[in-house]
Structure 1
Amino acid sequence: MADIGGKRVAILATNGFEQSELEVPRDKLREAGAEVHVISLESGEIKGWDLKDWGRTVPVDRVLSDVSADDYDALVLPGGQINPDILRAEPAAIDFIKAFWADKKVIGAICHAPWLLVEAGIIEGRKVTSYHSIKTDVVNAGGKWEDSEVVTDQGLVTSRKPDDLPAFCAKVVEEIGEGRHERRAA
C-alpha cells in the first residue's frame, strides 16, 4: 500500500455504521500514514452495526459542526443501512460532502453510503457501484452503476460490500496519493 503520510482523512459516520466499513478503512488509512478522524453529529461514541446486530462503539474524534472540508484531504463514507439514512437527512452532513467534491478531493463510499452521494447531487453521470439493494436509487439519480468490487471515477471511489474492503482501501489510498482530481462535467 502506498504511503500517504501527512494526509488527513475524515470518516463521516453516525450510529448504525457497518462495523467493518468504518474500522477497516480507518485502520488501513492509518497504516498507510494518514491522520484519520472519525467525525459525527455529536461528541462521544457512535455504535456500529455488525452484520445482524449492534456492534462495538467507536470514539468520535471531531464533531461535524467543528470541522470543514478544508481541514482534510479526503473523505470516507461507511455504509450500513442506518448510518447513511440518518446522515442524508442532515443538511450539514450533505454540505460537508459537497464541499469535498467541489474542492476536487477524494471521496470513498461503501455499500449503502452512495445514498449520501445521491443526496449531495454528485452521482449524476459518474461510474459507481453500491450494495445491490440501492442500485435503483443510484441509477434513478443518474449514476452509471456497475456490479464491480470497486469503481473509481475521477477521485470518487465506491464499493459494494464488506468483502470488497481490501480493494476499496487500496484504491482510496492510491487516489489520495494522487491528490486532487480534475473533473469534467458528467
Structure 2
Amino acid sequence: MSRILVLTAIEDELGRARLPDGVRVIYTGVGKINAASAATLALLTLHPDLVINYGTAGKINETLRGLVEVSTVVQRDMMAMPLAPRGRTPFAPELDLLTSGQSGVVCGTGDSFVTSSDPWLIENNVDIVDMELFAVAQVCRRHGLPWRAFKFITDDANDLAHQDWTANVKDGEGLFWDTLDRIR
C-alpha cells in the first residue's frame, strides 16, 4: 500500500475523523511560507509516495462548483517586474508553471485572500485561487515526488469572499474523503 500524505492549511478545512489507513494529514498553516516549510519537513520525515494538497479556493471561473482537481498551478503574486513579468520567478523559468499530470483546473496561489476582480487572473486563464498549492507543488518537484491537489470552491473571490468562505469551509471535507477513497 502506498503512503499518502495529505497537506492542508488548517483543521477547519479537513478533520481527521475519516482518515483511512496509510494516509497521514499534516496541517501546514496558511500561506506559501508555512506550506513550504511544513511540506519539506513532512517529506523528509514521512517519506510519502504521493502528496495530496486539499484545501479551499475562491473561483475565478464562474462555471465551477464543488470539489475540483488541479492540473496546473502558478504564482499569482510573484511580481518582480521589470526583472520578469508577473507570475514568473526571475532567473528560474522552471518555476513558472507546475503541473500535476492530472487533468483539471488552473490554480493561482498567492499570499493574499482574493476579494476583488483581478484582470491578470482572467487573462492567464486562472480558474481558482488559493494560498498554499504552489509552495506544496514546488517542494514536491524539488524532491521528485508526485502531487495531486483537490480544492473545494467556497467563494466567488469577491467582496463577500470572507463571509462565504466561513460559511462553506467545512462543506468539502466529505467530498474530499470520498474522492480519496476512489483514487487510493
TM-score (normalizing by structure 2): 0.39
Higher RCO, 1 or 2 (CA under 8 Å, sep at least 6)? 2
TM-score (normalizing by structure 1): 0.39
State the structure with more CA Rg.
2
